[in-house]
């Protein structure tokens, strides 16, 4: 890694909430991203009294270098949402989601399908830039089906005013498993004047070096590999694939559960079951312990599982 390398936690809906972002920060991540937030929903909630409370619950105080990602296809509500976020949270920047592949998003016309509607996206960018002074990022894939598509539309987005591009080097068709088209990321890095963040397929410190060297991108974003393994950032920075000592892992899991309780209350322990199952991946007894992990209801239940690691 170079001295300018930045390791970034990817936005992952249902995973990268405030508690998980804090855990990744403990493990040396440099920058974090929120889960995607509906612009329409945010604007609707802002009409109610509990707006600040709702935002604080999601983002809270004390987050130093993080971006809030919004999704939607209406320039007016996207700009309004950005304005609310700037006023209430004032994060490092706002990011537009142009990569979500799920059916619901495709049907509603937001996320990855917006790669096919660039004139509308340009309107969204202009509306947000007129409304806020926060840096504006956009996270996209390389194309709908053809990985060359982004080479055509990215310069238009830059011209419209985005300050940064995050490139998930897979197509919409390729979902989350296609071999990343790093050569496209390299061309973007060479062709654009704004910072380009590389994302896709980084699972080890060797992968991080590979994609950094191949693309020339010093900012690397990591998603799936951090789920159940937030120490991936520490591993990459220290050039190792070795796990930290088991006691540190146990400490991490229990702190993560504590933070979920603190920020989101008892109900969050149900969601924590998926995290606990992810933490178990590759451990001895994983399949037996997973059966216990999917039933946990309290901190004591979690401790009982962790004690058997």
Ligand X SMILES: Cc1cc2nc3c(=O)[nH]c(=O)nc-3n(C[C@H](O)[C@H](O)[C@H](O)COP(=O)(O)O)c2cc1C
Q: Is 302 in the site for ligand X (CB under 6 A)?
A: no
Rank residues 35 and 243 by Cβ distance to ligand X and give the closer one: 35
Q: Is 18 in the site for ligand X (CB under 6 A)?
A: no
Question: How many CB atoms neighbour CB 48 within 10 A?
Answer: 9
Single residue of 53, 64, 148, 176 touching ligand X by CB under 6 A: 176
Q: Is 10 in the site for ligand X (CB under 6 A)?
A: yes
Q: How far is the CB of 184 from ligand X (least distance, A)?
A: 14
Name the closest residue to ligand X (Cβ): 223
- Give, in degrees to the nearest 5, the angle at Cα 49 between 43 and 53: 85
Residue 54, judged by CB atoms within 10 A of its CB (0-12, 13-18, 19+), counts as: middle
Q: Of 7-15, 42-50, 54-62, 152-160, which part binds ligand X (CB under 6 A)? A: 7-15
Rank residues 17 and 301 by Cβ distance to ligand X and give the closer one: 17
Q: What is the DSSP string of 27-47?
A: TT-SBEEPPPEEHHHHHHHTT
Single residue of 97, 137, 164, 171 touching ligand X by CB under 6 A: 97
Q: Is 202 in the site for ligand X (CB under 6 A)?
A: yes
User: What per-residue string of b and e applies to 258-280 under the rule 16 or more CB within 10 Å gives b?
Assistant: ebbbebbeeebbeebbebbbbbb
| Beta strand residue intervals within 218-288, DSSP E | 219-222
CB proximity list for 135: less than 8 A, separation 6 or greater: 92, 93, 94, 163, 164
Number of residues in contact with ligand X, rule: CB under 6 A? 23
CA nearest to 10, candidates 212, 227, 207? 227
Single residue of 222, 257, 293, 302 touching ligand X by CB under 6 A: 222
Single residue of 72, 93, 201, 228 touching ligand X by CB under 6 A: 201
- Inter-residue contact 149 to 169 (CB < 8 Å): no
Q: Is 81 in the site for ligand X (CB under 6 A)?
A: no
Q: What is the DSSP string of 281-303?
A: TTSTTHHHHHHHHTT--SHHHHH
Rank residues 59 and 306 by Cβ distance to ligand X and give the closer one: 59
Q: Is 139 in the site for ligand X (CB under 6 A)?
A: yes
Q: How far is the CB of 83 from ligand X (least distance, A)?
A: 21
Q: Is 224 in the site for ligand X (CB under 6 A)?
A: yes
Q: Is 24 in the site for ligand X (CB under 6 A)?
A: no
Question: How many CB atoms neighbour CB 249 within 10 A?
Answer: 18
Across the strands, what pairs with 138? Answer: 96, 165
Within 58-77, the residues that bind ligand X by CB under 6 A are: 69
| 100 is known as an active-site residue | yes
Rank residues 132 and 224 by Cβ distance to ligand X and give the closer one: 224
Q: Is 230 in the site for ligand X (CB under 6 A)?
A: no
Rank residues 10 and 79 by Cβ distance to ligand X and give the closer one: 10
Element (H, E) at 171: strand 164-171
Rank residues 10 and 306 by Cβ distance to ligand X and give the closer one: 10
Catalytic residues: 100
Binding footprint of ligand X on the chain (CB under 6 A): 10-15, 35-36, 69, 97, 99-100, 139, 168, 176, 199-202, 222-225
């Amino acid at each position: 890694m170079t001295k300018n390398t930045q390791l970034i936690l990817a936005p992952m809906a249902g995973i990268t909430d405030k508690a998980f972002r804090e855990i990744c920060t403990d493990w040396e991540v440099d920058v974090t991203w929120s889960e995607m937030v509906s612009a329409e929903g945010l604007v609707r909630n802002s009409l109610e009294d509990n707006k600040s409370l709702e935002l604080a619950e999601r983002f809270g105080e004390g987050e130093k270098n993080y971006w809030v990602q919004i999704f939607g296809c209406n320039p007016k509500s996207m700009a309004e949402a950005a304005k609310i976020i700037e006023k209430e949270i004032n994060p490092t920047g706002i990011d537009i989601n142009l990569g979500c592949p799920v059916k619901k998003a495709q049907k509603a016309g937001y996320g990855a399908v917006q790669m096919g509607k660039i004139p509308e996206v340009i309107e969204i960018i202009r509306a947000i830039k007129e409304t806020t002074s926060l840096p504006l990022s956009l996270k996209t894939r390389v194309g709908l089906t053809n990985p060359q598509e982004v080479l055509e539309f990215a310069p238009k987005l830059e011209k419209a005013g985005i300050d940064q591009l995050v490139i998930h080097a897979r197509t919409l068709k390729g979902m989350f498993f296609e071999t990343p088209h790093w050569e496209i990321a390299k061309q973007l890095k060479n062709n654009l004047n704004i910072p380009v963040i590389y994302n896709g397929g980084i699972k080890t410190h060797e992968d991080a070096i590979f994609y950094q060297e191949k693309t020339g991108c010093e900012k690397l974003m990591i998603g799936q590999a951090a789920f159940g393994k937030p120490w991936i950032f520490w591993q990459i920075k220290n050039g190792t694939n070795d796990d930290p000592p088991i006691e540190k892992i146990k400490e991490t899991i229990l702190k993560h559960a504590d933070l979920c309780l603190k920020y989101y209350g008892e109900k969050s322990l149900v969601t924590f079951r998926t995290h606990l199952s992810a933490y178990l991946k590759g451990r001895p007894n994983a399949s037996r312990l997973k059966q216990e992990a999917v039933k946990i209801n309290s901190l004591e239940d979690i401790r009982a599982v962790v004690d058997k690691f």
